[in-house]
Structure 1
Amino acid sequence: MAPTFLRHRRPMLALKSFLTKLYQHLLAMVFAVNEINNNVKILPNITLGFHIHDNYNDAKVTYHKTLDLLFKSHHYIPNYKCGIPKNVAGVIGGLDSDSSSRMADILRLYKIPQISYGSFESAVSDETRFFFYRMVSSEAFQYVGIVKLLLHFQWKWVGLISSDGDDGERFLQALEPMLSGNGICVSFMERMKKNLHVDNPHAAIFHFISNNPDFLETKTNVVVIHGDTTTIVALANILWATKTLSFMMEEEYVQRISAGKVWVTTVQVELALTIILKFFDIRMLHGALGFTIHSNELTGFHKFLQTVTPFWAKGDGSIKDVWEQIFDCSFPNSMDPTNLNETCTGEESLESVPAPFFEMSMTGHSYSIYNAVYALAHSLHAMYSSTASGRTKENRGRLDVEPWQLYSFLQRISFNNSAGDEIVFNDRGELDAGFDITNVVTFPNNSYTRVKVGRLDPQAPAGKEFTVQPDKIEWHHTLSQVPPFSLCNDYCHPGHSKEPREGEKFCCFNCVPCPKGRISHQIDMEYCITCPEDHYPNSNRDQCIPKTPNFLSFEEPLSILLICLTVFFSLITALILGIFIKHQDTPIVKANNRSLTYILLTSLLLCINCSLLFIGQPKTWTCLFRQTIFGIVFSVSVSSVLAKTITVVVAFMASKPGNIFRKLMGRRFAHSVVISFSLVQVGICAIWLSTSPPFPDLDMHSTFGEIILECNEGSVTIFYCVLGYMVFLATISFIVAFLARRLPDSFNEAKFITFSMLVFCSVWISFVPAYLSTKGKYVVAVEIFSILGSSAGLLGCIFFPKCYLILLRPELNSREQMMRNKN
């Protein structure tokens, strides 16, 4: 059946300020009731009706009309039902919080469910909560969306404008801590007075400027607006008066005030744009971003609006008033005798009306009303179905409802509307539908449209509750940059950190370069951070660069040079060993103790090749053995030199008749000297490996930008004991050889040993400061040079003179020549 207006009421607002957009709210209710009455699956054989009342935005009238909903009589006696009570199952109403709370004061007494379609009023008590529902998400969630929007565009310096009342104060007290907690500062807060009109615009502007000097600053490019119609009208007065009084003000002020700003509006401001459109230039709000109640297009709603005419339904006392305002015409029996407009024909179409005055697409508030009607209908249907089995055949067409019975059904109701959205109330009686984010786009003919550019959805997966499409946003044409900056000062670029300014808000700061060794890789970092141990700061101190490994690799030129020297000295040593073996029966070779010579040359050959263990990336086995093998082998070499020195002295002493040293002559004595002195070094190395062995290690800090891959010696004390013991053996050899330097030439190898030990000690004594002063791979290179240098010293001083005689002066390598030298 067609919907019927059960009660004729006066227009919703006075003619001069009637918002034609509100008429779509009424039509959305009619559309929903019409669908339900024609749907055999919901409340079959039952027809829904409705009453529509207007409170004229007046508290007293709100109470009066709420009572009128409950009783037929126009005389009211509290707590007494005078006359025939109306069969009211539920109430849909409350565009704002004030109206909703006043209606709830009465409805809760009679336990009648109320569904507010635009109010953010929360239940004030448990008793009220059972019968108060809202078709919008909580206002706190809207504040979350505002914060997310500001953070998305990195707006950290914003202004707040609200109404001068309880709602405005709650808004400021709730939002400001949330902004501060997210690093956003409020540059100014203004509570708009309701009596701020254009009667004295010059005074109004200077009053606003004097109270909010930061509004003039171009860095405050974003202003959040909350409040009712009077708030947005008062702001429009300020902006409009700026243009009209430009000749009375300094041009600088005019330009700074009229410069484009990004206005961020709340849901409460949505309907106020129509009033601005009627009395002001709407282009001042071009590019504004607003939160609106979530809506979806409903199948058939557009076609339904096309059928609306001034005579479309009996009892609609508002349609003619709306028609006259929309089409600027009048009916013959118009209530305004001064109306000289053209006569309304009734054939006009709402589809021809510009969208700012009447939208053919469903708005958020109309969508909430539509869902509220269906929520009541589904609850009634559920209650009817649960009791239908006990009804008589005659009563099955009637629905005797006690309003309090609907509570349990409304609380559990869950369904999908025709647009596919799920309708279900949470435990606080709210519909978690979220909000749409819209962009106000204005046109030169002083019209505008809202473009949906984002969504705030509490039911979305975590991290995806807020979405916005910046490419769809049209910004104000006077903005020099889009999206604009709204900061107390410029960003601190990477490589700098923020330093607070004394006496100013935390959003105002100085940018200081990061100290040495620290970086900042993002804008506006509170403090610089230290790079991980395996990274180091670049020159701009805005990123960490991986450190390069530092070790003596085989591919480096220095390593190739050392390898070539090692091979060269190894070949020389092998060549000398071959010469001595080939000429082992010659007097010179025999006179220098052939077995000790072979031991010395072999140990030198091994020692020279030990330097190869120091090249390449340190590994566990190379770290364990390179120092110990080198220490033992080199100790054998030095012990052999010491044995040769002692042998020379003993041989000279034994040449005297009856000397006791004659018994010490022989190979066994020389070998015992080598073995005994070498075993001491073996014992030191064994203790080293068993107590604190060397191991591969990483040095992150010694060299900037590099990771030194090294062998940690474990116990540095034992390491120096190994080196010190070799120097000790060399020192003894040097002393003994020095004292025996004047022995006859035929036995005199002491002077060559003296020079070799002098070279050996010089190399290893100079090794210590060089080892301590170098870092990374150069430490290894110093030790290799010391090994090769000391080995070369032994070869050069001890064996080169003999090789010279063997190869180049063979005539001197004879017994007769040696005896002649002795005599």
Structure 2
Amino acid sequence: MHLNNCLCPVELIHVLKWWLAMGWITLISFTLLARTMSENQTCKMIGQTGFMEFSKGGDLIIGGVFSMTSTRKLNDYGYGAFPNTYCIKEFKFARTMIFTVEEINRNTELLPGVSLGYRVFNGCGSENLVRAAIEAVTGEDSKGCSDPIQALIGHSSSGVTQDINLILSPLSVPHVSHLSTCSCLSNKRLYPTFFRTVPSDHFQILGLVQLMKHFDWLWVGIIHSEGLYSKEGTATFNMEAKKEGICVEYTLPYAKARPFMVNTIVNTLRECSSKVVLLFMSLSFTKSFLSDIEEYKITGKQWIGGEAWITQESLASVGTRSILQGAMGLALPLANIPGLGEYLLSLKPTDEPQSTIIKAFWENFFECSFSPSNTTAVCTGTEDLSTVSSGYTAITQFRAENNVYKAVYLLAYSLHALLQCKNGSNPTTGKPCIVLNVTLQVLEHIKYVNFTTQDGAKVSFDENGESIAQYDLVNWQMKEDGSIEIVNVGQYDTSYPDGEKFKIKDNTKIVWGGDSDKVVRSVCTEPCPPGTRKAINKLKLVCCFECFQCPEGTISNQTNSPDCLICPPEFWPNEKKDKCLLKKTEYLSYEEIMGILLAAFGCIGVFLSLLTSIIFFTHNETPIVKANNSELSFLLLFSLKLCFLCSLTFIGRPTQWSCMLRHTAFGITFVLCISCVLGKTLVVLMAFRATLPASNVMKWFGPAQQRVSVLCFTLIQVIICILWLTINPPFPKKNMSYYKEKIILECALGSVVGFWAVLGYIGLLAFLCFILAFLARKLPDSFNEAKLITFSMLIFCAVWITFIPAYVSSPGKFTVAVEIFAILASSFALLGCIFFPKCYIIIFRPEQNSKKHLMGKIQPRNL
């Protein structure tokens, strides 16, 4: 609750209060000393006394200090009297304390055989309340001396509680507060005898922080009243909010009757971007604040409040309804206290005939007077309180009253434990038992109290005298008929483990600020989505950051990720850059058009070679077939079939075996092919030499020598391939360097020397064949095969010379395609240039397929 306003530093306040407390303690000490000097001596405390309003005797007495009047009527000394105003809430607390004492006295198990009495004191202002507390402790009043109390309950204000406790602590008098929430009272060094049944503001602030974190309200404003209570609460909130990544856009003070502050607050609310506003004030300040701003029509804000005002329906007026609609905050838990409602409504002035306060309340409730008057009705004292609508008669919800109820039970349980005796010692403390007429040491036993109220609430204390912090999360909901309903939508309970303390009820309708049906959004910067990274600007608050796209090859898969992660080598980010997807693999397959076309051309080449072989075989006895060495022709056709087929090994997913097969098959088949062409070229040259007189060259290059030459040329390539496969064979490789977003599956060469040795040997044979054929191109015959071989080898060499730069520069599957194209092009060149003209003569010009025609134009000459 609200502390007294003070402009001094906190340390100076404690010093001044300590000196004040020392003065009061000295006064109390002298009073007690006077009582012990003579029992017959009349004791009288200096200054004003007579603060006690209600009392009842008993074996044990507890006291209570409440501000039932906000201005106490003093002697006017000729200047006139000060008017009385009454606090219904404090009066309700006092009646709740009396009800609880009477309930305990009816309990046969708690304090059996011992009656519990009470003394209820009324004070106004800090000084009178302190005097009332001293009167309770010393037992002195205007009527004389009586037995002192064993413990004190009160006060609602944290500031007054501080003042009272500074006096009670040196006297070891237990002091239990039901509504003093300031976290400063948790200091056991300053307040060793203080306990409370209401949670400290520290827990309330932790709950408010968790509330904002739960709804992702990271950008908030704070408006607080001036005074130690609000300033300490605001400072604590800032500290705890920072731990959870919540930023405070502005913190504005408010004071009553200061228009310039109101103007500043209104302008800030309109200009600032935060939608959530924490209103950290006491009830009286909140009433004043709402009254000041209602004319400005501030809407669209989500107001958050503390237990000081969030359940006070009296705040709602015609002008503030639109402001408070959807307001949310933490309230003291709603409790069920059986019989309390009936007890409060059963009050009659005749119950306390000497109480002027009850009569004053009665006159206020029913707008009547116990003194005959012409202007007001006469109070009979029999009026029915259930017909009155006020804070006192509101018995459907008990929140703060439950803390008074628990405070009385707390003292009763501690007194009960104190009176226990077993084998000469107290079972709670293990110390010797006490006798009834000895001053009761209640303080030590309060620390061990642990009980459960009738509605199931557990009451116990930690080392700082703090009880379990429990709050209800409430929401203001305006109905169509204009009435107000404060709905319980959640709970904050510190007895639960972390992560479960704050809970929202399922299937509960929540109205949001501005009468919205959606959760209010309040952030300085929207969270950075996956695919971006969060960059903090050192010149701004941590909530006001910037978002940058992740660089190429990196991702972020979380909101507000501080860094972007590099994908593994075989993965690549998707378009949103929030996932690493397995890279697409690229290789020349049979499923794509280019692979299908190349495979089709290879098959066509095999078919044409096979068709040519059939044509040659069926016309094997014709002169044109015999004249061109049919044995080498069939071997060449066979090697061409293998050349066309080896192109198919380059299509498909590379494997260990396919990589070794494709290069070696290509190298060997092409050498076999070129060896046959070279043999045919040599045969042409030798045949021309054989036509010259006295020439026997053909016996040195007959069929046997031709076979051996082809075998030797091919065997050399086989040996090169064996060495290549043995030393460092080709192998499948994932090329991830050429393309960033995909993987090229290719066959690595293994030994580069081996690859170029195979290719170089083919080139050497082809170049030799081309030279020999070129020399024999003008030999005089009707069908000179040397010309055809020259032309075929010219194409062959041109294709493979062009292949080298194309092979080196082509990426991925196009490298394989270039190699296949070179194989097919050179194979088709050999097939087309050497065999197609002969097939044309065999099929379409059979008259030219005769020995006479072939030999008719031969004119031997020297080379």
TM tier, shorter chain?
A: 0.7 to 0.9
Aligned identity (percent) is 31
1:285–1:440: 8 Å Cα contact kept in structure 2?
Answer: yes
Structure 1 residue 372: Cα displacement: 4.0
Equivalent residue number for residue 700 of structure 2: 662
Residue 105 (structure 1) aligned to one of 166, 176, 185 = 166
SS of the residue corresponding to residue 715 of structure 2 reads: helix
Q: Which has the larger radius of gyration?
A: 2
Structure 2 Cα separation of the partners of residues 409 and 502 of structure 1: 50
> Counterpart of 1:215?
269
For the pair 1:67 / 2:134, whether they are aligned, the reply is yes
What's 2:489 paired with? 453
Q: For residues 403-458 of structure 1, what are the alpha-carbon distances to aligned partners after superposition, in whole Å with 9 as ceiling and x for unaligned?
A: 24315523xx3x44333344444454433433222122357998644212232333
2:474 is the alignment partner of 1:438: yes
Shift of 1:671: 0.7
Closer, same or farther: CA 300–518 of 1 in aligned 2, 3 Å: farther
Match of residue 31 from structure 2: none
Q: 1:332 aligns with which of 360, 370, 373?
A: 370
Q: C-alpha deviations, 1:660-695, integer Å up to 9, x for none?
A: 992793311221111113422443344332xxx433
Which residue type is aligned with residue 239 of structure 1?
Answer: I
- For residues 441 and 340 of structure 1, do their structure 2 counterparts lie closer, same or farther at Cα, with a shift above 3 Å needed? farther
Q: Secondary structure at the match of 2:140?
A: coil
Return the offset for 1:286. Answer: 3.1
Higher relative contact order (CA 8 A, sep 6+): 1
Q: Which TM-score applies when normalising by structure 2? A: 0.74
What is the rounded CA distance, in whole Å, between the counterparts of 2:548 and 2:743 in structure 1?
32
Aligned counterpart, 1:683: 723
SS in 1 for 2:448: helix
Q: 1:757 aligns with which of 793, 809, 812?
A: 793
Using the TM superposition, give the Cα deviation of residue 73 of structure 1 relative to its aligned residue in structure 2, in angstroms.
3.0
Structure 2: how far apart are the matches of 1:679 and 1:728? 16
1:86 pairs with 2:153: no
Residues 448 and 732 (structure 1), Cα distance of their counterparts in 2 relative to 1, 3 Å cut:
same
Is the alpha carbon distance of 1:387 and 1:745 closer, same or farther for their aligned partners in structure 2, counting shifts above 3 Å? farther
662 and 9 in structure 1: CA distance in 2 versus 1, 3 angstrom threshold: closer
> What's 1:228 paired with?
282
Contact 2:253 2:261 in 1 (8 A): no
Q: 1:397 to 1:93 in 2, by over 3 A?
A: same
Tell whether the 8 Å contact from 1:226 to 1:269 is kept in structure 2 after alignment. Answer: no
CA gap 1:684/1:164 in 2 versus in 1, 3 angstroms = same
Cα separation, partners in 2 of 1:638 and 1:31, compared to 1, 3 Å: farther
Aligned to 1:146: 208
Q: Tell me if structure 2 keeps the 8 A contact 1:296–1:362.
A: yes
Give the aligned residue type for 2:254.
M
TM-aligned CA deviation for residue 290 of structure 1: 1.8
* C-alpha deviation, 1:748, in angstroms: 4.9
Q: How does 1:793-804 map to 2 (within 5 A)?
A: 793-804=829-840
Is this contact kept in 1: 2:111–2:415, CA < 8 A? yes
User: Which of 292, 300, 306 matches 1:266?
Assistant: 306
1:403 matched to 2:442? The reply is yes
In the other structure, the counterpart of 1:163 is: 225
The answer to whether residue 790 in structure 2 is matched with residue 790 in structure 1 is no
Q: Quick one: which of 345, 367, 370 aligns to 2:402?
A: 367
Matched, 1:474 2:511: yes
Counterpart in the other structure of 2:592: 556
Query: Which segments of 5 or more consecutive residues in structure 1 lack a partner in the other structure?
Result: 76-81, 198-203, 244-253
Task: Indicate which of 13, 27, 31 corresponds to 2:69.
Answer: 13
Aligned equivalents of 1:388, 1:323: Cα separation in 2? 53
Residue among 334, 342, 345 paired with 1:295: 334
Work out whether residues 683 and 701 of structure 2, in 8 Å CA contact, stay in contact via their aligned partners in 1: no
Deviations 1:544-586 (A, max 9, x none): 8886665545443444333333332232233334445555566
SS of 1:287's equivalent in the other structure is coil
1:267-303 deviation digits (Å, cap 9, x = unpaired)? 23447x4674699856643332122123344555555
- Alignment partners' CA distance in 1, 2:643 and 2:380: 117
Give the Cα–Cα distance (whole angstroms) in 1 for the partners of residues 790 and 700 of structure 2.
24
Helix, strand or coil: the match of 1:294?
coil
1:148 & 1:229 partners in 2: Cα distance? 23
Compared CA separation, residues 661 and 492, structure 1 to 2 (3 A)? same
* Cα distance in 2 between the residues matched to 1:57 and 1:142: 27
Cα distance in structure 2, aligned partners of 1:293 and 1:475? 21
CA distance change for structure 1 residues 210 and 759 in 2, over 3 Å: closer, same or farther? same
Report what 2:183 is aligned to. Answer: 121
Match of 2:746 among 707, 711, 720: 711
Cα 1:35–1:763, aligned 2, differ >3 Å: closer, same or farther?
farther
CA gap of 1:683–1:519, structure 2 versus 1, over 3 A, is closer
Letter in 2 for 1:763: V
User: CA shift at 1:789, angstroms?
Assistant: 2.8
The reply on whether 1:285 has 2:324 as its aligned counterpart is: yes
The 2-side partners of 1:11 and 1:795 are apart by 118
Distance 2:699 2:191 in 1: 118
Per the alignment, residue 253 of structure 2 pairs with 191
What CA deviation, in whole Å up to 9, does each residue of 1:702-746 have, x standing for no partner? 27xx63452262659468635565445544443443344344558
Any conservation in 1 of the 2:590–2:652 contact (CA below 8 Å)? yes
Q: Separation in 2 of the partners of 1:10 and 1:116?
A: 11
Alpha-carbon distance in structure 2 between the residues aligned to 1:265 and 1:209 = 21
Structure 2, unaligned runs of 5 or more: 1-54, 72-83, 428-432
Under a length normalisation based on structure 1, what TM-score does the superposition of the two structures give? 0.77
Q: How far is the alpha carbon of 1:312 from its aligned partner?
A: 5.5
Deviations 1:194-215 (A, max 9, x none): xx22xxxxxx434432477423
Asked if 2 retains the 8 angstrom alpha-carbon contact of 1:328 and 1:342, the reply is no
- Segment of structure 1 superposing worse, 523-532 or 151-160: 523-532
Q: Quick one: distance in 2 between partners of 1:101 and 1:439?
A: 32
- Summarize the Cα distance change of 1:729–1:97 in structure 2 as closer, same or farther, 3 Å threshold: farther
How far 1:235 sits from its partner (Å)? Answer: 1.6
Is the Cα–Cα contact under 8 Å of residues 265 and 291 in structure 1 kept in the other structure?
A: yes
Aligned in 2, Cα 1:440/1:820: closer, same or farther, shift over 3 Å?
same
Q: Does the C-alpha gap of structure 1 residues 423 and 211 become closer, same or farther in structure 2, counting only changes over 3 Å? A: closer
What SS does the aligned partner of 2:308 have? Answer: helix
Please give the secondary structure, in 1, of the residue aligned with 2:734: strand
Secondary structure of 2:826's aligned partner: helix
One-letter amino acid of the structure 2 residue matched with residue 694 of structure 1: F
Q: Secondary structure at the match of 2:401?
A: helix
Partner SS for 1:263:
strand
1:263: how far off? 1.8
Higher deviation after alignment, 786-795 or 17-26: 17-26
The answer on whether the counterparts of 2:203 and 2:469 sit within 8 Å (CA) in structure 1 is no
1:404-553 correspondence runs (5 A): 404-406=443-445, 408-410=447-449, 413=450, 415-442=451-478, 448-460=484-496, 462-468=498-504, 472-475=509-512, 483-486=519-522, 534=571, 536=573, 538=575, 550-553=586-589
Distance 2:366 2:708 in 1: 133
- Give the counterpart letter for 1:359 in structure 2: A
Q: 1:718 to 1:359 in 2, by over 3 A?
A: farther
SS of the equivalent of 2:831 reads: helix
Range with greater deviation from structure 2 (92-101 or 716-725): 716-725
In the alignment, the residues of structure 2 paired with residue 140 and residue 621 of structure 1 have an alpha-carbon distance, to the nearest angstrom, of 74
Question: Equivalents in 2 of 1:454, 1:586: separation in Å?
Answer: 106
Alpha-carbon distance change, 443 to 779 in structure 1, aligned in 2, over 3 angstroms: same
Q: Which amino acid aligns with 2:834?
A: I
Structure 1 residues 126 and 397: alpha-carbon distance in aligned structure 2, compared to 1, 3 A threshold: closer
Decide whether the 8 Å contact of 2:476 with 2:484 is kept in 1.
Answer: yes
Q: Matched residues in 2 for 1:389 and 1:70: separation?
A: 29
